[in-house]
Structure formats: C-alpha cells, structure tokens
Amino acid sequence: MLSEFSLISRYFDRPLRHDRHAALGIGDDCALLTPASGMQLAISSDMLVEGRHFFAGADPAKLGHKCLAVNLSDLAAMGAAPLAFTLALSLPEAVEEWLAPFSDGMFRLADQHGCALIGGDTTKGPLNICITIFGEIPPGLALRRDAARAGDDIWVSGTLGDARLALAGYRRELKMDAPMIEACAGRMHEPTPRLALGCALRGIAHAAIDISDGLIGDLGHILKRSAVGAALNVDALPAGPVLARAPQDLRRRFTLAGGDDYELCFTAPVSNRIAVLAAAHRSATPVTRVGSIEAGNRLRLVDAQGGALDLQLDSFDHFSSP
Amino acid sequence: MLSEFSLISRYFDRPLRHDRHAALGIGDDCALLTPASGMQLAISSDMLVEGRHFFAGADPAKLGHKCLAVNLSDLAAMGAAPLAFTLALSLPEAVEEWLAPFSDGMFRLADQHGCALIGGDTTKGPLNICITIFGEIPPGLALRRDAARAGDDIWVSGTLGDARLALAGYRRELKMDAPMIEACAGRMHEPTPRLALGCALRGIAHAAIDISDGLIGDLGHILKRSAVGAALNVDALPAGPVLARAPQDLRRRFTLAGGDDYELCFTAPVSNRIAVLAAAHRSATPVTRVGSIEAGNRLRLVDAQGGALDLQLDSFDHFSSP
C-alpha cells in the first residue's frame, strides 16, 4: 500500500515544463499561477462519482481521459484556452494497477492541450474524482449562456447520440452486439473536448454551452438565461455514425436527449454563417446548423418539413434520476 | 426531492456583490475571474469525505464552516488573500434540512473573508465535499515550504492539540466527560483560518505551512523541501486550554502530532523577531517561538532543558491509517 505522499510523487507530481503561467506546482499549501496580463480566468469544477458517472471497474486510462475531458469541454464552451488544473481524488485504496493507467490517460490528454496539473488532494474513500480547471480568455470574448439573440442560428459541433447508444447497449436497453457497442463506446469513454473550435468562435458566436446532459436540456439553459425561445430541426441533428443507422425514433431521442456528447451547441448571427464555417474549418471540427433562436421562451421541436413534433424527453438530472 | 438546478439556485447561487474580481458566477460553463493586475493566484483544493474527515451525521452548519476553513487555511499558509472558491458536492440525497444549514455555515465564513462562491458541481453519491479556493498575492511574497534557512526561528500560531483531544473524547480513547469534550470540540469542528496573520507575515517570515496533519509531520514538509533540520522544544508548544491541564505525555503527543489544528507553523530569521511579534499583534493572533531551523536533515525533539526526547509519533497519512 502506498502512502499518500509517495502516491502523489509517483503518479502526479511532474516537473512543470517551462510553463508560461504555473509558478509553483504540487507540494506546497497552494499552487501559484501567474495569469497573463489583462486576461480573464475561466474556472470550472466537475465531480465524477463511481456508479453515477462511470461504471464500477471502469478502465482507469479511459477514466483519466474522461475526467479531464469533461472539464476541458467546459473551457471550450466559454472559448477559453486551457492553462492548468487541480485534481482531488478519493480512492478506496492506493494501488498501482489503477493509479498508473489513470494518471497516464489523464496526462496524455493534458499534454495535448498544454494543461499542467498544479495541485490537488488525495484521500481514502469511495471513488470520486474532482477536477477544477483554469483557462484564459480576453475580457469580453467569453461565450456566455446568456448571449443568444432572437434570429441567431443554432449550431452543434460533431455528432450526437453515440455515447447514449453505447450506454443503452451496456444496460441492455437495446439489443446490440459487442462490435456495435464497441463502435460507439469511444464517444462515451473518451470524449473529445472541442477546444480549438471554442477558441475559433470568439467574436463570432454569441452564446455557447457544452452538451453534457443532452442537447435539449443544455440548449434549454441557453434559452432560459438569454430569455429567448427556439425552433430546433430534430431531423437536422447530426447523429453519430452508429446511431445514424438506427430507426428514426431512436435517432431523434438519442440525438436530442442522449447526454455525454461533449459537443458544443452555440448560437451565432445569420450574418456570421460564413465566419462560423471558416472557424470550423480552421479548427478541423464539423459543425451543423440545426435551428434558430426565436423571441419568446418556448423550445419548438420541428421535423425536416418544419412540422411540429411532440416528443416526451427529459434532460438528465442528478437528483431526480434513479 | 429537489432537482439539481433548484438545489443550486436555492442554496448556492447568490448575486455576486460588487466584487472586485468575479466577473461571472454560477450558472455558466465556467466562472470568470479577473485577477488584479500583476498579482499571482494562489490555488488550493481540499476534499472532505464522510467517515474520514468528519463523522457521519456531523452538524451540517459546522461542516459548511470547516470545509471552507481548511481551504482558507491553505491560503493563509501562503500569505495569500482570499478571492473566491468553487464547491463540488456529492450528496446521497438533496434535503433541505442538510443543505440550508450547510450553506449557511459555509457562507457565514465566506462573507467574513469576502470570498465569493463562483461555481462548482453537484451530484448524487456518497457525501463528499471538494472546495477549490483562489487567493491573490504579490509575486515573490508567497510563504513557500522550501524557504526555511538554517538559523531561522520556528513559530506556531494559536494553540495546538485541542482538536485531537476532542477526537480522543469522541472515540473514547480517553475518559472525558461531555463538558470537557464540548470545551475542545470547537477547535475540531470550527477551526479558525489564520488569514490575517498569513498576510501580515509577507516579507517577514521565510517558510510557512498550515498544521492539518499534526505539527511534526507538517514541519517535516518544510524541512524536507527546504533541505534543513530543526530542533523543536516540545515543552514550548502552546497547548489548547483543555489540553494544557492534561498530563505531560498526552500534552506532548497531542501538540506534536494531533492534527486538525489549522494553525500556522512558520520560520523567520532571528533578526525579524520583533517584526513577527508586531505582525501577530496587528493580526490579533498569538504566536509562540518553539524551536530553530538547523543545518542537516534531522528533526530533533528536545524538552524545556534542551535534553533530547525520543517520542514515537507519526503524522496522519490517509492511506496508511485504518
């Protein structure tokens, strides 16, 4: 059994590279971060609990990736560039077979985005992983949820629903064979935070959010905070490659309310359509136009012909779900 | 049962006062913080787990205080001034009887220090409270663990051991009546972060740490990172008012290795003795001189007469303790 301090030094305490910002990392009462002059800090915390956000016995390398990815996705949704993060970890026991792949998976993604681990905490307890992430963005350019305007286009990045489809396979809600589950499971276990797109949309998009609890619920947050309504073309939603072959009803439900997508939903003025496509091209991220912001406060679901759809759907809520 | 969103809006989402720094609080993908120009950010995360850091059924108001206090104490130990914090909370169920006093206890302490809650996460799961705190400090003035120098005095703030004594009472390790436990329990449940002292010691102290796992272990971190040794006068350690009446052996053990004290241990050059006392006076915080930093790498425990003491003591380790 490792001690708390050897655990930290063995798996988490890496020399800070010649980092622009982190002045002092792991091993003191606090980390020290020197923000670039004039920049705002974007800060987000996500807590992932075993049995709730991931299965007991989940692959630790993928889990390391995912815990950081969901936080990076929050930075992406603000248009912020990653700087650093802290990791607080509650573990039933400190075993190498878990810690080594977990930290590898996490650092692989961190290194892709130049995001340094600068501090945190470890304790014994039920498995719980809490990352707090720090990014930077020039003042006034953050993509806020309250900035959608009537007339804006609604866009989503990438594809939706394959993570939810994998979950349905694991839970045997649907009859899916192992290769089919495997084909969509990558979206569930190792989501891709859309950081390049988020930064490229600064000054072009109005509002943005990352789709973690399902598009319908997350778009709902934009509508509520911006005091607007929307028409959403359900049949325009880009389904993941596996889900795209599924029946229409399933496709509609899982693209609308699937959860765990970690794509961006954003709004932008019609006059910025070309600029949005150019930002998508620059960031090598596909985007699809899926609806319009409207006056009022209703979210109208429509089909490809513009006809009203009445689907019973709910977004995920951690305290009302079983 | 409250939903996740009504839980947040009811108990945790308060309007940001005309805050110097927090530009955007709860309710978006990230909070936005605007650091004062030229200041460094000090960042710390602490995770508190039920059954590990606090008893199941612990008073939620005191717990709200304590969770924030231990983070504020980390800022104090760097000499940083608090700005803001995030709260990630895993709860078995969302009930008002717990949430209302918990948030009251937390905000009462937050308001005393002008520290705004700017974001976080809530989820269902075993009770786990993870706070990440942000403070500011002018570059170069942080009180780091690696800055102790041979010849420095060693100081501690306040008194030590009463929190450990309360724990011994709760656990029936010692025969203590209820009023006696009560008399020392405040130190365990509602520690006082020494923020005013930490700031007052900028430019005066060399190294500092907050005493969370017991003086001997926490001073050990300073020694290791500063590559120095020390002589610690065990009989000079200021015992809490209840512990002060206990037998010498118990007093020595609990002041040295009690844990949960949240006092500061710091080192300062002998030439700054008067400046240290003036800083203590300005911050209305008692301080006691308890030893000296020495060359080498040993921590020598001595009694009031300077004679060597050989005490078997261990600092708390989350993964080697039962």
Which of B19, B26, B28 is the best mutation test for A, with the most CBs of A within 10 A? B28
Per-residue pLDDT tens over the stretch B68-101: 999 999 999 999 999 999 999 999 988 889 999 9
Q: Indicate if the pLDDT at residue A274 is higher than 50.
A: yes
What pLDDT, on a 0 to 100 scale, did the predictor assign at position B28?
A: 84
Amino acid identity, residue A11? Y
B47 contacts in A (CB within 8 Å)?
A: 88-90, 121, 123, 128, 130
- Count of beta carbons in the 10 Å neighbourhood of residue B138: 15
The architecture in CATH of the region A145-302 reads Alpha-Beta Complex (3.90)
- For residue B26, what pLDDT is reported? 77
Q: What is the mean pLDDT of chain A?
A: 90
Q: How confident is the model at residue A82 (pLDDT cuts 50, 70, 90)?
A: very high
CB atoms within 10 A of CB A253: 20
Cβ distance B94 to A45 less than 8 Å, yes or no, reads no
Name the residue among B7, B30, B78 with its Cβ closest to that of A74.
B30
What's the predicted TM-score (pTM) here? 0.89
Using only C-alpha atoms, chain A has a radius of gyration, in whole angstroms, of 20
Confidence at residue B54, expressed as pLDDT on a 0 to 100 scale: 87
Nearest to B317 among A4, A75, A91 (CB): A4
Rounded average pLDDT per 10-residue block, chain B, 322 residues: 71 66 76 86 94 89 95 96 94 90 95 91 93 94 95 97 90 88 89 96 97 93 95 94 91 91 97 98 97 94 89 58 45
Q: Where in chain B is the domain with CATH 3.30.1330.10?
A: 4-137
State residue B321 phi and psi, 5-degree precision: -85, 155
Taking an 8 Å cut-off on Cβ atoms, the answer to whether B4 and A126 are in contact is no
Q: How far is CA A89 from the centre of its chain?
A: 20
- Residue B89 with chain A: CB contacts under 8 Å: 47
Nearest to A48 by CA among A106, A4, A107, A116: A106
- Chain A's closest residue to B127, CA to CA, is A126
Closest alpha carbon to B50 in B129, B151, B110, B157? B129
Q: Is the pLDDT of residue A318 over 60?
A: no
Task: Quote the pLDDT of residue B322.
Answer: 43
Determine, for residues B128 and A75 on separate chains, whether the beta-carbon distance falls below 8 Å: no
| Amino acid making up residue B108 | R
Structure tokens, B197: 């002292």
Q: Would you state the pLDDT for residue B27?
A: 77
Please give the pLDDT value at position A320: 52
pLDDT tens, position by position, A197-224: 999 999 999 999 999 989 999 999 999 9
- Residue A21, pLDDT score: 67
Do residue B132 and residue A88 have CB atoms under 8 angstroms apart?
yes
Among A28, A119, A142, the residue with its CB nearest the CB of B32 is A142
Residue A95 banded pLDDT, cuts 50, 70, 90: confident
Query: What count of CB pairs under 8 Å joins A to B?
Result: 235
* DSSP reduced 3-state for B231: strand
CA-CA distance, A130 to A311, in Å (whole number)?
Answer: 35
Q: Across the interface, which of B31, B130, B209 has its CB nearest the CB of A43?
A: B31
What pLDDT score was predicted for residue B321? 47
Weakest mean pLDDT among A93-102, A304-313, B13-22, B160-169: B13-22
Give the mean model confidence (pLDDT) for residues A43-67.
Answer: 92
Q: Tell me the helices (H) and strands (E) count for chain A, helix number first.
A: 9, 12
Q: From the CA atom positions of chain B, what is the Rg in Å?
A: 20
Facing A46 at nearest CB: one of B45, B121, B125: B121
Give the per-residue pLDDT at B317. Answer: 53
Task: Say whether pLDDT at A312 is over 90.
Answer: no
pLDDT tens digits for range A251-270: 999 999 988 899 999 999 99
Cα distances (angstroms) measured from residue B247 to each of A247, B244, B253: 77, 8, 10
From chain A, the residues in CB contact with B53 under 8 A are 123
Q: Which of A35-39, A135-139, B22-26, B300-304 has the lowest mean pLDDT?
A: B22-26
Nearest residue on chain A to B210, alpha-carbon basis: A29
Predicted confidence band of residue A319 (pLDDT cuts 50, 70, 90): low
- pLDDT band at residue A314, thresholds of 50, 70 and 90? low
Terminal-residue alpha carbon distance, chain B: 35
State whether CATH 3.30.1330.10 applies to domain B4-137: yes
- Whole-complex ipTM: 0.87
- pLDDT category of residue A17 using cuts at 50, 70 and 90: low
Answer yes or no: do A135 and B30 touch at CB < 8 A: yes
pLDDT on residue B313 = 64
The C-alpha angle with vertex B108 and arms to B196 and B155, in degrees rounded to 5, equals 25
Q: Which DSSP helix (H) or strand (E) runs through B299?
A: strand B299-302
Q: How far apart, in whole angstroms, are the C-alpha atoms of residue A148 and residue A128?
A: 35
- What does the pLDDT average to over A163-191? 89
Residue B9: predicted pLDDT: 74
Write out the two tokens for B238. 């200021």
The SS3 assignment for B63 reads helix
CATH 3.90.650.10 domain locations along chain B:
145-302
